[in-house]
């Protein structure tokens, strides 16, 4: 059986990091002139604390700005809402990965291969989705971060780059009877093909095909409960042993022989590879989320408190994201966005 002690330690460390995480996501809807007039009438009577910024025919407004946010309206209606969307996007991937990883590791340890196969298959899909999305988010963020621009234009460029990307990722669905306004999600086979392409190996689609068969009441699922075939030396017959869990033989000397199980081997191999890659990509994706928050100072522009609301440090201090001294950190307009790991298997 595979030794998953290190993978379990890393999964539990992420679990610890995210267990109590919470974010109040704010989606800012651009208002046309009629909606803006209605919003202004309502605000005059309710006297809630809002800040707004107007562009060409559209207005954006958000409540609960900080004092700084009230002075920097264009940034306040853009950066904190987008940061809350990014944190929510990251937490989805983290919580889903951790739930699946823990279930897969427990199932593998107890020899419950039917569950390991289903969770390992889901982990391949989750890894393909994260690897694809982290590249999209990084590209959108870096396109907005690199150019040398005035403050006002910066906010609109960041919104134009990140808002459509994050909104599509969060609301895309595979259901067939979707309203026309809802984006349709990427086919899962596209994610698996992406993993093969990036890793320059057919491993992911091979695992995925077998584990899909094992996740349905098909040949692969039936293989879970039988040993790989033992052919009689004469060629006259084949012996397969059926059992609830993987079995082994112990001879009269006490020597142990394990039978082999193809689905168990593939499920464990996919669990190990996808597990470590997920942890690595989640850590890299969190650096992107933090880079956005620290470069834009989003948490300083709102009164809302949320997970990862890190504030820029003073020049002599250490960066709160853990990347090292603040003075040499790359959380600044014009600097490159944090990189995404290569996919090696
Ligand atoms: Zn940092």
* Average pLDDT per 10 consecutive residues for the chain, totaling 345 residues: 87 97 94 94 83 91 95 96 97 98 96 96 98 97 91 89 93 83 89 97 97 96 92 94 87 86 95 97 98 98 95 94 94 95 87
- Give CA–CA dist 262/232, Å, rounded: 20
Query: 317 C-alpha vs ligand 1 centroid, how far in Å?
Result: 11
Helix (H) or strand (E) holding 152: helix 151-171
277 HSE (CA, 13 A, CB side): 26
Per-residue CA distances from 90 to 23, 76, 235, 289 (Å): 11, 21, 55, 8
Query: 184 C-alpha vs ligand 1 centroid, how far in Å?
Result: 35
Q: In this predicted structure, what is the pLDDT of residue 322? A: 94
- Give CA–CA dist 38/15, Å, rounded: 44
For ligand 1, a single-atom ion, which residues have Cβ within 5 Å? 319, 321, 323, 329
**Which phi and psi (to 5°) does residue 63 adopt?**
-90, 170
- Give CA–CA dist 321/289, Å, rounded: 10
Query: 322 C-alpha vs ligand 1 centroid, how far in Å?
Result: 5
292: exposed, middle or buried (Cβ count in 10 Å: 0-12, 13-18, 19+): buried
Query: 15 C-alpha vs ligand 1 centroid, how far in Å?
Result: 21
Q: In this predicted structure, what is the pLDDT of residue 117? A: 97
Query: 318 C-alpha vs ligand 1 centroid, how far in Å?
Result: 8
Q: Is-above-0.75 flag for pTM?
A: yes
Across-strand partners of 61? 52
Across-strand partners of 258? 248
- Give CA–CA dist 70/67, Å, rounded: 5
Query: 336 C-alpha vs ligand 1 centroid, how far in Å?
Result: 13
Report helix, strand or coil for 83: helix
Query: 291 C-alpha vs ligand 1 centroid, how far in Å?
Result: 7
Query: 194 C-alpha vs ligand 1 centroid, how far in Å?
Result: 30
């Amino acid at each position: 059986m595979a030794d998953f002690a290190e993978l379990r330690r890393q999964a539990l460390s992420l679990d610890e990091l995210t267990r109590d995480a919470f974010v109040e996501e704010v989606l800012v809807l651009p208002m046309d002139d009629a909606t803006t007039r209605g919003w202004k009438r309502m605000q005059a009577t309710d006297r809630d604390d809002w800040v707004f910024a107007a562009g060409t025919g559209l207005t954006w407004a958000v409540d609960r700005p900080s004092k700084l946010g009230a002075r920097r309206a264009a940034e306040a209606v853009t950066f904190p809402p987008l940061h809350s969307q990014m944190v929510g996007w990251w937490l989805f991937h983290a919580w889903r990965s951790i739930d699946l990883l823990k279930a897969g590791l427990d199932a593998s340890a107890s020899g419950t291969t039917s569950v390991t196969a289903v969770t390992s298959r889901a982990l391949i899909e989750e890894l393909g989705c994260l690897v694809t999305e982290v590249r999209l988010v990084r590209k959108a963020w870096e396109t907005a971060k690199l150019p040398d621009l005035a403050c006002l234009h910066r906010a609109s460029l960041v919104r134009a780059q990140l808002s459509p990307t994050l909104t599509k990722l969060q609301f895309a669905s595979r259901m067939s009877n979707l309203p026309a306004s809802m984006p349709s999600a990427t086919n899962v086979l596209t994610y698996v093909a992406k993993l093969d392409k990036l890793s320059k190996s057919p491993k992911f689609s091979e695992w995925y095909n077998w584990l899909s068969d094992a996740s349905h009441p098909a040949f692969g699922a039936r293989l879970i409960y039988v040993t790989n075939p033992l052919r009689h030396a004469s060629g006259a017959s084949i012996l397969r042993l059926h059992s609830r869990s993987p079995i082994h033989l112990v001879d009269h000397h006490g020597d142990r022989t394990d039978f082999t199980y193809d689905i168990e081997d593939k499920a464990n191999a996919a669990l190990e590879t996808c597990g470590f890659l997920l942890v690595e990509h989640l850590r890299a994706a969190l650096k992107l989320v933090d880079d956005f928050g620290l470069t834009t100072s989003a948490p300083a522009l709102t009164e809302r408190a949320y997970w990862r609301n890190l504030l820029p440090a003073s020049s002599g201090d250490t960066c709160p994201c853990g990347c090292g001294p603040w003075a040499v950190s790359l959380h600044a307009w014009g600097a490159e966005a944090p990189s995404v790991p290569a996919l090696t298997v």
